[in-house]
Amino acid sequence: DSNFIAELLTQLQVDNPKKQLSILHQLATLEEPGLQPLMDFLLARRQQPAITYLDGTAYRLLWQSHAPQAKTFLQAHWPDGLVTPLSDKGLDYSELQQSLLRQDFEAADRLTLKKLCELAGSGAVQRGWLYFTEVENFPGQDLNTLDQLWQVYSEGRFGFSKQRQIWLSNNQNWEKLWEKIAWKKGNAWTRYPNEFIWDLSAPEGHLPLSNQLRGVRAMASLLTHPVWS
Ligand code: UYC
């Protein structure tokens, strides 16, 4: 009822992202009565300097509602998507944004590798994987864009900076990182693609993947890139 919604809206104002996230989900489960509050929330947040996963979640929940008024609203205010993906190399990240919005994390993961190869140049595009020396020279702007897209549409769970955070808090120990992000269990690597978890129930840092077939150096370059410090 309206008192319950009013109570949710009050709590939504409190600057506590985990709590706010849970309220956004509660509003979405109310269906029709929850739509306007979600739209108001998203509009009010346009004053904020940065787009976060709270914006991404509100946007996605509205988009997933399939309500015509929500579609019209999103189209009117964000005709090109919530995030404006900046690129120093003129790369187009709109398909990646679309697959993340759809929560098609498997497609998003493949697109991410594709974009990283495009960033590295035609050699990497043909080869289909990265030299660590190429990664060192990636423009920070594009890495930031990739990371922001993953964060915004994963409720803050996925992305390179999240993986870096976990790696740093485990003394830069790769074996510990693999366990934490479920890329390895005991001695067994998680098998691509079926054993990976392609939704938000995955552990933090699980996505995007970096194939370890050719060693850890490319991922090490990614996680130590100057853009994160
Ligand atoms: N794969 O095991 N992986 C592939 C991962 C390894 C292998 C792709 C991640 C271990 C082969 C992605 C892990 C290993 C191929 C990932 C993982 C191995 C392949 C598709 C846990 C054997 C076929 C994109 C660390 C023991 C392709 C791509 C090829 C593919 C990711 C085997 C995203 C995170 C050491 C044979 N694996 N990969 O890069 O190149 O091809 O032959 O990491």
The closest of 208, 207, 220, 86 to 142, measured between CA atoms, is 86
The pLDDT score that the predictor gives to residue 2 is 85
The minimum-distance atom of ligand 1 relative to the CA of 109 is: 33
pLDDT mean across residues, the chain: 97
* Sign, CA torsion 92/80/85/83: negative
- Ligand 1 centroid to 25 CA: how many Å? 35
Question: HSE on the CB side for 199, CA within 13 Å?
Answer: 1
Place of tokens 């077939």: 213
Mean of the pLDDT values across residues 74-88?
A: 96
Q: What percent of the chain has pLDDT over 70?
A: 100
CB-ligand 1 contact for 188 (6 Å cutoff): no
**Residue from 211, 214, 217, 223 to probe ligand 1 pocket by mutation (most atoms less than 8 Å from CB):** 211
Nearest CA to ligand 1 atom 14: 213
CA dist 74 and 59 (Å) reads 8
The alpha carbon dihedral of 122, 125, 128, 131 has a sign of positive
pLDDT at 1 over 80: no
The arithmetic mean of pLDDT across residues 67-85, rounded, is 96
- How much of the chain exceeds pLDDT 90, in percent? 97
- Cα of first residue to Cα of last residue in the chain, in angstroms, is 47
Q: How confident is the model at residue 68 (pLDDT cuts 50, 70, 90)?
A: very high
Position 206 pLDDT exceeds 80: yes
